[in-house]
Amino acid sequence: MATTTASMILNRFWDGRLPIDPIQLAVSAGATVIGDPALEREGLSGMFHYDESGRPVIRFNPFEQPTRQRFTIAHELGHMLLNHVVPGERALRDPKAAYSSGYDQPREMQANQFAAQLLMPEAVVRSMARYGVSGRLDNFADEFQVSTTAMGYRLKNLGIY
Ligand SMILES: [Zn+2]
């Protein structure tokens, strides 16, 4: 479900270039995306909520690693498109530790699956594993502009490594 939703967004809005730009996709999907320094003080990586007018807002921590910021934005877009919050409900807040393994709330897992497919689409990863990129994890992570940790999980989950 999460993966299918990410694929639909890619089909509609992705220009076909790597690395995939999660801000462009989020804006195309109707979100406002804000790098919010206040999140650092609260120990958060990201947040998703609807504003008073019912418009979706994605906030991310601009002090974290760029690869982490990209994953956060994709993760928050997942919360939005998977309807994890409805207008009028409290904001969904993602603490910095939230993506580590063992954090297994269903909504968080779904948002992570969404983000993985959005930033590292299965078909692209598989074709690059076959032709494009030599087999080092750093090379893959660099092509997709994700952390080596995120790339490692992705390759493992797809049964490539
Ligand atoms: Zn989350």
- φ, ψ of residue 8 to 5 degrees: the values are -65, -40
Q: How far apart, in whole angstroms, are the C-alpha atoms of residue 130 and residue 44?
A: 37
Q: What is the CATH number of the domain that holds 116?
A: 1.10.10.2910
Which residues share a beta bridge with 102? none
- Judged on CB neighbours under 10 Å (0-12, 13-18, 19+), 38 is exposed
40: in domain? yes
Please give all residues whose CB falls under 5 A of ion ligand 1, grouped by chain where several chains appear. Answer: 94, 108, 111
72: in domain? yes
Structural domain including 71 reads 2-120
The CA 78 to ligand 1 mean position distance, Å, reads: 8
Domains in the chain: how many in total?
A: 1
pLDDT tens, N- to C-terminus, the chain (161 residues): 899 999 999 999 999 999 999 999 999 999 999 999 999 999 999 999 999 999 999 999 999 999 999 999 999 999 999 999 988 899 999 999 866 555 568 999 999 999 999 999 999 999 988 876 666 889 999 999 999 999 999 999 998 87
| Residue 100: predicted pLDDT | 55
The CA 20 to ligand 1 mean position distance, Å, reads: 20
| Residue 105: predicted pLDDT | 87
The CA 35 to ligand 1 mean position distance, Å, reads: 16
